Amino acid sequence: MRPGVTKLPVWLRIVVIVALTVLAAGASLLAYRWYVRPVTLSIAVGSLDGEAPKIVSALASRLAVDNAPVRLKVVETTGPIESAAAFSSGAETPDAAASITTRTNAS
């Protein structure tokens, strides 16, 4: 042994190695959770009959149940024009604007 260098006791070496292993495992788990977290997309949805928000909400809940890597945040608007305006202005930061208009059979 070199003069002036003291060896750590065996129990202290074990504690240090276990602590470093736990720290590395925790950091790895944190990095993994950060990497696989789902991305949230905001969608501006509006229709004249009110069916579009229901459809997109059903799609969003299905994505959540299936643990998909994408989540949808529904931003309801009154119609397709407002959806397009929200998409272009980024007011609620919608990533996509969906506007579904239904045809009515005029007899």
pLDDT digits (tens, 9 = 90+) for 14-48: 999 999 999 999 999 999 999 888 888 888 887 76
Tell me the chain's radius of gyration from C-alpha atoms. 27
Strands of the sheet with 96-99, listed across from one edge: 70-76, 39-46, 96-99
Is the Cβ–Cβ distance between 56 and 94 less than 8 Å?
no
Residue 100 has pLDDT above 70, yes or no: no
- State how far the Cα of 82 lies from the Cα of 66, in Å rounded to an integer: 30
Residue 9 DSSP label: P
Is the Cβ–Cβ distance between 73 and 63 less than 8 Å?
no
Can you list the positions of beta strands (E) in 47-107?
70-76, 96-99
Residue 59 has pLDDT above 60, yes or no: yes
pTM for the full predicted model: 0.54
